[in-house]
Structure 1
Amino acid sequence: MATEDTGNWADAIRDALVACSSRPAKGEEPFAGRLEHAALGGIGLSTVVSGPQQVARTSRLIARDRRELLLVNIQTEGQSLARQDGRSATLLPGTMTFLDSTRPFMLEFSGSFSQVVVQIPRALLPGRSLVGVTALELDDHGPGRLVADFLLGLGRQRRNEPGVAAALLPHAVGLLESVLDLTTRDSATQTSAELTSQRIHRFVRQHAHDPSLDATGVAAGCGCSRRTLYRALAADGQTLTTLIRRLRVARAQRLLRDRPTLTLTAVAVQSGFGGAAQLHRAFQSVAGMTPGTYRAAAMDGEASPTVVGSEVR
């Protein structure tokens, strides 16, 4: 879409990304911008082209729009400044930054710019904690460049073959997790326990649809003992059962939204539950509603793209 009005622009950002205020730079009227967006399973891919402006996500806007997302911004043209939690990063073409939608942030664009923005529900990244804005310079041969090129390629592919781009989009989650691990691997603030916790969460997310998944399998897959497994999860304030249930419900939500003709039994099986009754109990516990109610809300465009309920918040 294209817009010439800052009010419409803020609405477009809210619908495709998260609720933010937008203010053009002084002397830059009339305002012009373009935003293209595609989504699959709650993961979004947007291309933003616009003039100089200031974009802010405030505590008030967060209270009104509680979507919990990791926002991955890849600067392709122009320059911007990102601020969050007292930290800041200057973004030039070839820089990727990570922002947490659950905390206030600000983006300042000094001139015309373009970005590719990937929006990933935090429910798909359990155990991942970001402190302030995290920026990654993309050198010509590093892993960050490979991931950024993949995401930029998806942005181009979306225009030509949107179905193909949508099918590949979910693979962005694992790739971005790997990049985040690499950017923090040598950080003095990241302990061995934190790395173990991230490895456990990633393994469980990748295998939650397996109904036989248990502590023995997770520990073996992560190269740690059951005791270490339990201790790492306890430090995060949750149990393995809670984590698996939450991720299975997240998968069920995506199926309920994206495949409305799928039976509840099929949704249960593909999400890792033993049957429709088990799905119903877990869904009610995590999301605070039944699968049928959630599906009806999704068909009306009212369902949240991420798992909601006290266990996630």
Structure 2
Amino acid sequence: MRWSSTEVEACDAFSYWADVVCDTFVGVAVRPRPDAAFEGHIDTSVLHDVAFASLTAGPQKVARTRRLIARDDRDVLLANVQLRGRARLEQDQQVAVLGPGSMAFVDSSRPYALDFADDFSQLVVKIPRERLSHRSLSGATAVELDASGPGGIIADFLINLDRLHRTDARAATVLLPHAVDLLESALAWATDVELPPASTALTRERVHRFVRQNVTDPDLHAATVAAACRVSRRTMYRALADDGESLTGMIRRLRVSHAQRLMSAHPEYVLSAVARACGFGGEAQLHRAFKAVTGMTPGMYRSRCRDS
């Protein structure tokens, strides 16, 4: 569903927005910056009992007080991923300043305040407390997970899962447990608690991310991937087992996808050049991989592109 302040008269825009925020997340007090016209919209979707909300809005302050908690006792974890702009989060006398790509947790059972000084965009994932095996959030809130570290891996996964749900709900449902596991990993870092199942999910996503970023490297193989992700090959294979796709199969599939994009965008490229650009050892290897993944040869694919 999509909610937008432009659906009502300008004089009612912010009060409408405040109601939507409370309905989407939890009961809060919302205040606009007095010297600016306000506009905001929220896109929401729900995977089972986990809600995703992508919002873009103008400057505002949000506060959840003890009185509001007493009126609305929804007990959820809110994972806030900053997409654009900056946000200041304060809870339990801890402060986090979020920039694009970073994330932090909010515990709805305790007071908190969010301050957005400028226009911003966020993805907020709302998870019922009972869905988490690691129930205690003490010390986890207002702890920023930086975009350059493991927090960036988790943020990327959540952003892509939200996008996937809009186009392929079935695939997103299959991946949802991995998202919960990754959030458990983030909770573990914030509270110094060991969660072995969550670390498996993190290893899986770290491997996926490294392979996507380096898939055109002809020297990409199991040893280099495991070393880059700082795990043993055995740990890497165990983390990938739930995917039903081997590391070799994933690399081959991604290289073929890259080859398809190149061939569509540059029909003048000879196949040997396409093979080199995608990380294949040569034209013959490209031909075998392309046939295995797509069921057709590169030449057949190129002919279809020309016909279309």
TM range (shorter): 0.5 to 0.7
Deviations 1:220-239 (A, max 9, x none): xxxxxxxxxxxxxxxxxxxx
Partner of 1:245: none
State the one-letter code of the partner of 1:13. V
* 2:5 corresponds to which of 3, 18, 22: 3
Alignment of 1:12-161 (within 5 A): 12-29=20-37, 31-125=38-132, 126-131=134-139, 132-139=141-148, 142-161=149-168
Deviations 1:201-251 (A, max 9, x none): x8xxxxxxxxxxxxxxxxxxxxxxxxxxxxxxxxxxxxxxxxxxxxxxxxx
Deviation at residue 61 of structure 1 after TM alignment = 1.2
Unaligned runs of 5+ in 2: 7-12, 199-308
User: Aligned partners of 1:34, 1:167: CA distance in 2, in Å?
Assistant: 28
Give secondary structure in 2 for the equivalent of 1:181.
helix
Aligned identity (percent) is 40
User: Aligned partners of 1:67, 1:54: CA distance in 2, in Å?
Assistant: 20
Deviation at residue 176 of structure 1 after TM alignment = 0.7
Give secondary structure in 1 for the equivalent of 2:34.
coil
State the one-letter code of the partner of 2:175. L
| C-alpha spacing 1:44/1:8, structure 2 compared with 1 (3 Å) | same
Deviation at residue 109 of structure 1 after TM alignment = 0.4
Aligned residues: 189
Asked whether the 8 Å contact 2:129–2:135 carries over to 1, the reply is no
User: Aligned partners of 1:94, 1:130: CA distance in 2, in Å?
Assistant: 24
Asked whether the 8 Å contact 1:10–1:19 carries over to 2, the reply is no
Q: Which has the larger radius of gyration?
A: 2
Asked whether the 8 Å contact 2:138–2:191 carries over to 1, the reply is no
User: Aligned partners of 2:186, 2:65: CA distance in 1, in Å?
Assistant: 27
User: Aligned partners of 1:44, 1:180: CA distance in 2, in Å?
Assistant: 18
User: Aligned partners of 2:82, 2:144: CA distance in 1, in Å?
Assistant: 11
User: Post-superposition, which runs of at least 4 consecutive aligned residues in structure 1 deviate over 4 A?
Assistant: none
Partner of 2:182: 175
Question: Highest relative contact order (Cα 8 Å, sep 6+), 1 or 2?
Answer: 1
| C-alpha spacing 1:53/1:199, structure 2 compared with 1 (3 Å) | same
Q: Which has the higher helix share?
A: 2
User: Aligned partners of 1:104, 1:16: CA distance in 2, in Å?
Assistant: 17
RMSD, aligned α-carbons: 2.2
Give secondary structure in 1 for the equivalent of 2:55.
strand
User: Which is further off, 164-173 or 10-19?
Assistant: 164-173
User: Aligned partners of 2:92, 2:191: CA distance in 1, in Å?
Assistant: 17
Give secondary structure in 2 for the equivalent of 1:136.
coil
Asked whether the 8 Å contact 1:81–1:109 carries over to 2, the reply is yes
Alignment of 1:229-240 (within 5 A): none
User: Aligned partners of 1:76, 1:157: CA distance in 2, in Å?
Assistant: 17
Give secondary structure in 2 for the equivalent of 1:148.
helix
Give secondary structure in 2 for the equivalent of 1:102.
coil
Asked whether the 8 Å contact 1:43–1:170 carries over to 2, the reply is no
TM-score (norm 2): 0.57
User: Aligned partners of 1:158, 1:8: CA distance in 2, in Å?
Assistant: 27
State the one-letter code of the partner of 2:60. Q
Asked whether the 8 Å contact 1:80–1:109 carries over to 2, the reply is yes
